[in-house]
Amino acid sequence: AQSVAQPEDQVNVAEGNPLTVKCTYSVSGNPYLFWYVQYPNRGLQFLLKYITGDNLVKGSYGFEAEFNKSQTSFHLKKPSALVSDSALYFCAVSSPNSNSGYALNFGKGTSLLVTP
């Protein structure tokens, strides 16, 4: 079985400060890890993914995430937050060995609020 945990329901950060949105995972085999962002009443936008290779992954809009195998984590980070980054962020995992193939298993989501 595969699962994702996002321990924080909400993260608040001031504009210009660095932000971190946490994600840990549990999967048998090698994980495929993703971050998506959702704006109100919209679908999900792909931010970045880790499949293999360099543990630090750079994605859209200045976001990056670091794959840490020993801690089974894939935290999302950005050096300087913008008010427009305020949205709902989902971490997701898939595994080619799972029964659902590449279907994604999502965390519950973390609401990011960036204040001016």
Interface residue list for another protein (CB under 8 A): 32, 34, 36, 41-46, 49, 51, 90, 94, 96, 100-109
Q: Least distance from C-beta 90 to another protein, angstroms?
A: 7
Q: Which is nearer to another protein, 45 or 55 (CB)?
A: 45
Q: Least distance from C-beta 109 to another protein, angstroms?
A: 5
Q: Which is nearer to another protein, 36 or 85 (CB)?
A: 36
Main-chain dihedrals φ then ψ at residue 10, nearest 5 degrees: -145, 145
Pairing type for strands 19-21 and 64-68 reads unpaired
Q: Which is nearer to another protein, 15 or 104 (CB)?
A: 104
Count CB-CB contacts under 10 A for residue 31: 20
Q: Name beta bridge partners: 64.
A: 58, 77
Residue in 38, 9, 31, 40 with CA at minimum distance from that of residue 22: 9
